[in-house]
Chains A and B, each alone.
Chain A
Amino acid sequence: MTRLRRHPDARATLLDGEAFLVRPDRDAILRLNPTAAAIWHGLAEPSTRDELVALFATAFPEVPTERLAPDLDRALAALRDAGMVVADDRA
């Protein structure tokens, strides 16, 4: 399964505890919702999508996985579409 990582040029700016992501070479600025922010933190180390789901399941044991996964997938897709998260093909 594809490992994912933060784009090395993506920069996070914290405002009132909320994160905005921006890349110097792109016009897009992304405000992270809580799910996307958790993914961003989770990707401090490259991870697969399933590893992130497992991380979320541990962090939010009261939320069923079948609810966690779609939220995570939507947020992950937005991060990838904006170029903030990319496949880790360095290995």
Chain B
Amino acid sequence: MPSGQPNPVAPCPGSLLLLASLPPAVSEALRRAAPGWPAGSGGDGVRVNALPDGFRVTGHGVDRLAEDAWEAAHWVLAAAIGRAAESSPGRLVLNAGAALVDGQAIVFAGESHAGKSSVALHLAAGGLPLLGDDRVILDTAASPPTATALGLARKVRTPLPRDFSDAARRLVEASRAGHEAGADVLAWDPVIDRPAGTAAAIARVVVLHRDPGVDAARTSRLGTADAVAALLPLCGRHAGSAADLLDAVAGLVRRVPVELLVTPGAAAAAAALPAARSA
């Protein structure tokens, strides 16, 4: 599938329309958290009711109380993304970022604080478009398997790590414009970030493992069992049962190379990724 084109088969967050209107504060938070969604889109069938001390978000597997509009927007997104992931066999949410190289997705997966957002920043600073920096939907039943952008703003944690390149620092300053300063700011650049629903064939999946004790980034190819074991804990909502998830991940790793990247930091990881080398 060519990059930059909405996937006409797979319903994604960008194709979901609100059935119920959102409270204005939640709508504004959603606009900033998911700037890659079409204006006016939201979670199909997701309801947000204003309460005296917050909001209640219900629909598509979510029933949560939120203390403020940001949290409510988070749960709207969770419901919509979950619905998109569960809507078709073989589909799953992966805790991963993805960059496009020659129209194909290099997916970099990892736990929270593995450095996905920082790696994404470095890759973007090197000129690569992004499908996301934190979560993407994988369609393992597609041929070839695809990664789909969720249209979410990127996370930028400040202060930036010391290993950040000058180019990445400049990109942060440029893309955080319009957001107030804070420990975490949101970044979105239409030149870099692909909107919700953009899908691309997966060239490879790289599992990030940060280890400050190593001197340089090292990549190794994972066997089928090790790849499945590495990816399963990084999967979120998915279509079908746990058995279906196992089949989906096993099917993915049989068709797409999966590598382990042990790295001392994000800059070294981005430099070691095949995406960075071929950019």
Contacts and interface: CB of A to CB of B under 8 A. Distances in A.
A22 B223 contact: no
B225 interface: yes
A87 interface: no
A3 interface: no
B242 A13 contact: no
A29 B240 CA distance: 14
Contact of A31 (B229, B241, B242, B243): B229
A29 B246 contact: yes
A26 B243 CA distance: 9
A28 B242 contact: yes
Contacts of B247: 13
B224 A24 contact: no
Nearest to A14: B225
B228 interface: yes
A26 to B, nearest CB: 6
Interface in B193-227: 223-225
B224 A15 contact: yes
Interface secondary structure of B, over-half rule: helix
The interface size bin for chain A is 10 to 19
A17 B224 CA distance: 10
B250 interface: yes
Contacts of B22: none
A27 interface: yes
Nearest to B240: A24
Given A27-B242, A28-B242, A29-B242, A13 B224 contact: no
Interface in A17-39: 17-18, 20, 22-29, 31
A15 B250 contact: yes
Interface string A38-67: 000000000000000000000000000000
The interface size bin for chain B is 10 to 19
B228 A15 contact: yes
Interface in B217-259: 223-225, 228-229, 232, 241-243, 245-247, 250
A80 interface: no
B229 A13 contact: no
A17 B225 CA distance: 8
B245 A29 contact: yes
A11 B241 CA distance: 12
Contact of A20 (B223, B241, B246): B246
A16 B243 contact: no
Contact of B250 (A13, A24, A26): A13
Nearest to A28: B242
B242 A23 contact: yes
B8 to A, nearest CB: 32
Contacts of B223: 16
B225 A24 contact: no
Which of B241, B243, B250 is packed against the most chain A CB atoms within 10 Å?
Answer: B243
Interface of A: 11, 13, 15-18, 20, 22-29, 31
8 contacts: A13-B246, A18-B225, A22-B242, A24-B241, A24-B242, A25-B241, A28-B242, A31-B229
Return the 8 tightest CB-CB contacts between A and B, nearest first. Answer: A18-B225, A15-B225, A16-B225, A16-B224, A15-B224, A22-B243, A24-B241, A24-B243
